[in-house]
Structure 1
Amino acid sequence: MSDSGKVLLIDGMSFLFRAFYASAWGGGYRQTSTGVYTNAVHGFTKMMLDYADLVKPTHLIVGWDVASRESLVRSQWYDGYKSNRQAPPEELIPQFDLVKEVTEAFSVPNLGCPGFEGDDVLGTLSTSLSADGHQVVIATGDYDSLQLVSDLVSVKILKNGGKHEHYNPASLLTMRGISPEQVVDVKALMGDASDCIPGCPGIGEKTATKLITEHGDLDRLYGNLESCTAKMRSKLEDHRDQVYLSQKLATIIRDVPLEFSLEAAAWEFDRDMVRSKFEELEFGRSLATRVG
């Protein structure tokens, strides 16, 4: 590893939505005395500090979605992409801007690019930074990010109760039976209902994993269909175009046009500035004591 350090990349939307729903399940939304909703921002800040304590990064960056569904690059490839997405709760909407005020108080860069998703931002950053010899840790709730795992890039998948699953190439193979390069091809076959990625009807995760591990990748599977049962061959042939479209939709884009300075992402902050923001948002003592 280069002596330039360790970079923690946070999936902003994953953290913010998880923080919102974790604190909202009982129906009570944290608010300031003037009625500003802060439950998601408070939870996000706690999670960011938790992962910073855990990873001990030298640098920290948050990646964000910044586009409506209709303006996404992937929506141009496939009309149905993420078409099932509901509007966020009204109590969460004002917190999208508020959370960035908090990260800015910590001098943490907020990065996004119109048309692209947070995954693409993290994919571009992790690819570029690891190519320069930096160790990268991605914290996200999205299993798609497992395709980014490498010798220098590990992924922590958020789970309930403040827990996570840690993935590097070895643990990915142990826990899911595939390599980082096979993550997209498994998704191409099984699809993803949450993102409206169609996949191949009738093929679930177990079968998709079996097919890809047996053949190596999607191209070799399609080049060797005669080895499949007649029923499986028929499914795969009938939905070939849909499967390859799903592969394209599931592939994280790693060359998003981002402007960023690693120096500006140093995990160092002005404690007075952070405390002032905490006071403004009436965060209370538990978080304040964590920033000294």
Structure 2
Amino acid sequence: MADRFLMIDGMSFLFRAYYASSWGGSIRQTTSGLYTNAVYGFTKMMLDYVDLVKPTHVVAAWDVASRETLLRTQWYDGYKSNRVEPPLELIPQFDLVKDVTAAFAVPNIGLPGYEGDDILGTLSTRIADAGHEVIIASGDYDSLQLVSDKVHVKILKNGGKHEHYTPENMHELRGIHPHQVVDFKALQGDASDCIPGCPGIGEKTAIKLIGEHGSLAGIYENLTALTPKMRAKLEEHREQVFISQKLATILRDVPVELNLDEARWQYDENTAIAKCEELEFGPTLIRRVG
């Protein structure tokens, strides 16, 4: 019988939890002054998705490098160059959240130079190839390139909601198929990651071009079929478009290891409860743990 793996995009969960709880200006702290709002929200979200997905295994994937040490920064110096320092209240919670996941016996997986997406891509591919089912929970639409028969993606939305993507509904919801996600981003770019794309091509045009020609390669093979204006844009920015394609591609061969037995969703209640009590999570959340 196939197992079901819930793979959590750790940074997506943590940042979403932080901003969802801090927008009103009241940031949760322990009596000793330790900030815990992001970690509390992360823990609640993790338990919510465990209840929803009912996994046999849970894994958390993390970014573990600064922008300057990322592999993609070596390919393109401007990659993520617009990133600002995280809020001071969040910084100590980066390590604290991993203490919490460890208390629930959830493996924290990351590798210097790589991003959480690359960890998700590598492990989900490996686990799916072994015949198991994978559900990725992330706030990042890049993850949609990983959708397959064995890998489904839940994109986090505001208010605790999500969008569930499968190979069957992907085109209906986004206008493209999973294998076209990278080429779509290569054309449109991504301002949040400073991926340049092709100036003058937005979401609708990128979807139209990919729908008509199937892929980025197909578009460039058929430039003569495009309007002179569109052809000129794509020719002028060809190099930029293809570096954008490389930047947008989630790696699936990162040298990380995961012992599947260690990812099984089973934890010592006393250990988990003790950590939640230490962080003063309160009775409502602690009741869910035990």
Query: How high is the TM-score relative to the length of structure 2?
Result: 0.99
Match of 2:167 among 155, 169, 172: 169
Deviations 1:183-229 (A, max 9, x none): 00000000000000000000001100110111000111100000000
3-state DSSP class of the match of 1:207?
Answer: helix
Taking the aligned partners of 1:211 and 1:242, their CA distance within structure 2 comes to 17
2:31 matched residue in structure 1: 33
1:221 matched residue in structure 2: 219
2:152 matched residue in structure 1: 154
Taking the aligned partners of 1:245 and 1:6, their CA distance within structure 2 comes to 35
1:261 matched residue in structure 2: 259
The structural deviation recorded for 1:291 is: 1.5
Which amino acid in the other structure matches residue 239 of structure 1? H
Taking the aligned partners of 2:84 and 2:197, their CA distance within structure 1 comes to 22
Which amino acid in the other structure matches residue 57 of structure 2? H
2:90 matched residue in structure 1: 92
2:6 matched residue in structure 1: 8
Runs of 4+ in 1 over 4 A off after TM superposition: none
Match of 2:178 among 177, 180, 188: 180
3-state DSSP class of the match of 1:195?
Answer: coil
Whether 1:273 aligns to 2:243 is: no
Which amino acid in the other structure matches residue 208 of structure 1? A
The structural deviation recorded for 1:168 is: 0.4
Taking the aligned partners of 1:77 and 1:144, their CA distance within structure 2 comes to 18
The structural deviation recorded for 1:20 is: 0.3
Query: How high is the TM-score relative to the length of structure 1?
Result: 0.99
Taking the aligned partners of 1:56 and 1:111, their CA distance within structure 2 comes to 21
Which amino acid in the other structure matches residue 107 of structure 1? A
Which amino acid in the other structure matches residue 33 of structure 2? G
| 1:1-292 correspondence runs (5 A) | 3-292=1-290
How many aligned residue pairs are there?
Answer: 290
3-state DSSP class of the match of 2:79?
Answer: coil
3-state DSSP class of the match of 1:136?
Answer: strand
Deviations 1:109-135 (A, max 9, x none): 000000000000000011100000010
Taking the aligned partners of 2:199 and 2:232, their CA distance within structure 1 comes to 11
CA RMSD, aligned part only? 0.5
Return 5+ residue gaps in structure 1 as ranges: none
Taking the aligned partners of 1:133 and 1:190, their CA distance within structure 2 comes to 34
Taking the aligned partners of 1:268 and 1:26, their CA distance within structure 2 comes to 35
3-state DSSP class of the match of 1:170?
Answer: coil
The structural deviation recorded for 1:96 is: 0.5
Which amino acid in the other structure matches residue 87 of structure 2? P
Which amino acid in the other structure matches residue 225 of structure 1? L
Which amino acid in the other structure matches residue 21 of structure 1? Y
3-state DSSP class of the match of 2:63?
Answer: coil
Taking the aligned partners of 1:146 and 1:186, their CA distance within structure 2 comes to 11
The structural deviation recorded for 1:4 is: 3.5
